[in-house]
């Protein structure tokens, strides 16, 4: 199975027809082993809620992929995706498709949020247009698999093409409402998506010499706090149970955790204590987190990569899979601009949505 047709026409004739007569709109869905492993297994192109092609690209992509340029590289063709930030970041990894047009896109996930949907998973929205889509987790559980590569290729193809068809159906349902109510805002957000993809793929250069110096400094500070805590009888600074027990023995009043199983050692509870042990615990936690979460894991890396995305509820810019937004100011000097300087801007604290 390399190319599979899902529709009522003749596969070869329909394929050639769409190449010769590029439609105004197509829907795209990409299958990967998992949401975190961005290796394309295949992708589907739907030309309506009833007709789609699936292209299996792993382990060998079909030669016909190059023929898709009139569709995918054409700025007059609107590309629908349900989660464009994901699908459009994976599609360029498919041979012959690097550089496809991203200037004309419609993200049905964003549209659903703007139109007031609280839950926007494709499997939840599909019944709105009289269709059924299966979420990836249920699909893999059904096949007793841990990722899509362990599922039957025929079933993966069927799921992918159906997801593309559902996205097309949602587009037909949402388009007029978006144009009437949110046209200007929606267009801005669609223009932001390719920029976020490029930022995610580009990453930030890391000054490894500065990183190593900071790592050594933090290791010394972590060790300093650890020795301090040893004097108070704390053998495991990371054990909230041990820390809470010893603080309690020292006469500190601490509330119970939500489950009422032990004393709370949350930062909000420790920062008001006068006990120097509490200050040492907070100091150890801060330095150890900087070291273990941000500094040590990027040793040897040339660049720091993250995944930017727009929060689907309020539209705020977020970062995940190495959250660069949470990196403390005292650590940011290890990142270098590619062109000599960083540009920063903050237009508003209001949620765009």
Q: What is the pLDDT of residue 145?
A: 96
- Asked whether residue 346 is domain-assigned, the answer is no
| 202, 223, 242 - which closes a domain | 202
Quickly state the pLDDT bin for 28 (edges 50, 70, 90): very high
Give me the chain's average pLDDT, please. Answer: 93
Q: What is the pLDDT of residue 227?
A: 97
Q: Indicate whether 12 and 155 sit together in one domain.
A: yes
Q: Indicate whether 195 and 225 sit together in one domain.
A: no
**In this structure, what CATH number is given to the domain that contains residue 317?**
1.20.1060.10
- Asked whether residue 48 is domain-assigned, the answer is yes
- Asked whether residue 351 is domain-assigned, the answer is no
Quickly state the pLDDT bin for 330 (edges 50, 70, 90): confident
Q: What is the pLDDT of residue 345?
A: 66
Of 256, 263, 261, 258, nearest in space to 240 by CA: 263
Q: Indicate whether 195 and 217 sit together in one domain.
A: no
pLDDT (average), residues 6-31 = 97
Distance set, CA 99 to CA 56, 74, 107, 198, 332 (Å): 20, 11, 19, 11, 32
Q: What is the pLDDT of residue 309?
A: 80
pLDDT (average), residues 193-220 = 95
Q: Indicate whether 300 and 256 sit together in one domain.
A: yes
| 142, 172, 202 - which closes a domain | 202
What share of the chain in percent tops pLDDT 70?
Answer: 96
**In this structure, what CATH number is given to the domain that contains residue 116?**
3.30.420.10
Q: Indicate whether 25 and 96 sit together in one domain.
A: yes
- Asked whether residue 256 is domain-assigned, the answer is yes
pLDDT (average), residues 19-47 = 95
- Asked whether residue 90 is domain-assigned, the answer is yes
Q: Indicate whether 169 and 307 sit together in one domain.
A: no
Q: Indicate whether 234 and 248 sit together in one domain.
A: yes
Q: What is the pLDDT of residue 313?
A: 64
Chain segment 56-85, per-residue pLDDT in tens? 999 999 989 999 999 999 999 999 999 999
Q: Indicate whether 219 and 276 sit together in one domain.
A: yes
pLDDT (average), residues 289-318 = 86
- Asked whether residue 298 is domain-assigned, the answer is yes
Q: Indicate whether 140 and 275 sit together in one domain.
A: no
Residue 26 has pLDDT above 80, yes or no: yes
Q: What is the pLDDT of residue 184?
A: 93
Domain range for 51: 3-202
Distance set, CA 16 to CA 98, 162, 225, 353 (Å): 22, 21, 69, 42
- Asked whether residue 10 is domain-assigned, the answer is yes
Q: Indicate whether 221 and 194 sit together in one domain.
A: no
Q: What is the pLDDT of residue 322?
A: 85
Residue 347 has pLDDT above 60, yes or no: no
- Asked whether residue 102 is domain-assigned, the answer is yes
310 torsion bin: left (phi>0), alpha (psi -120 to 50), beta (else): beta
| 155, 185, 202 - which closes a domain | 202
Q: Indicate whether 308 and 264 sit together in one domain.
A: yes
Residue 122 has pLDDT above 70, yes or no: yes
How far is 192 from 311, CA to CA, in rounded Å? Answer: 13
Number of domains in the chain: 2
């Amino acid at each position: 199975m390399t190319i599979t047709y899902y529709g009522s026409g003749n596969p070869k004739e329909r394929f050639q027809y769409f190449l010769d007569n590029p439609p105004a709109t197509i829907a795209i869905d990409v299958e990967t082993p998992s949401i975190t492993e961005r290796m394309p297994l295949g992708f589907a192109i739907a030309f309506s809620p009833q007709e789609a092609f699936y292209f299996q690209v792993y382990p060998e992509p079909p030669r016909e992929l190059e023929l898709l340029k009139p569709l995918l590289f054409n700025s007059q063709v609107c590309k629908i995706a349900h989660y464009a930030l994901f699908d459009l970041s994976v599609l360029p990894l498919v041979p012959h498709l690097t550089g496809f047009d991203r200037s004309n896109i419609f993200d049905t996930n964003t549209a659903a949020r703007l139109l007031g949907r609280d839950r926007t998973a494709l499997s939840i929205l599909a019944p709105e247009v009289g269709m059924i889509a299966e979420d990836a987790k249920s699909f893999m559980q059904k096949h007793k698999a841990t990722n899509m590569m362990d599922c039957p290729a025929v079933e993966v193809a069927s799921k992918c093409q159906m997801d593309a068809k559902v996205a097309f159906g949602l587009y037909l349902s949402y388009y007029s409402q978006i144009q009437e109510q949110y046209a200007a805002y929606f267009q801005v957000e669609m223009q932001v998506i390719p920029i976020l993809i490029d930022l995610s793929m580009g990453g930030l250069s890391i000054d490894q010499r500065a990183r190593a110096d900071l790592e050594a400094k933090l290791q010394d500070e972590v060790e300093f706090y650890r020795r301090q805590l040893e004097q108070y009888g704390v053998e495991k600074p990371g054990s909230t149970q041990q820390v809470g027990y010893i603080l309690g023995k020292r006469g500190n009043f601490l509330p119970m955790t939500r489950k009422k199983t032990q004393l709370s050692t949350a930062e909000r509870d420790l920062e008001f204590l006068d006990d120097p042990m509490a200050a040492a615990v907070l100091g150890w936690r801060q330095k150890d987190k900087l070291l273990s979460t941000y500094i040590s894991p990027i040793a040897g890396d040339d660049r720091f990569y993250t995944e930017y995305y727009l929060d689907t509820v309020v539209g705020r810019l977020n970062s995940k899979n190495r959250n660069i937004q949470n990196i403390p100011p005292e650590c940011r000097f290890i990142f270098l601009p590619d062109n000599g300087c960083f540009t920063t801007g903050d237009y508003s604290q209001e949620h765009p949505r």
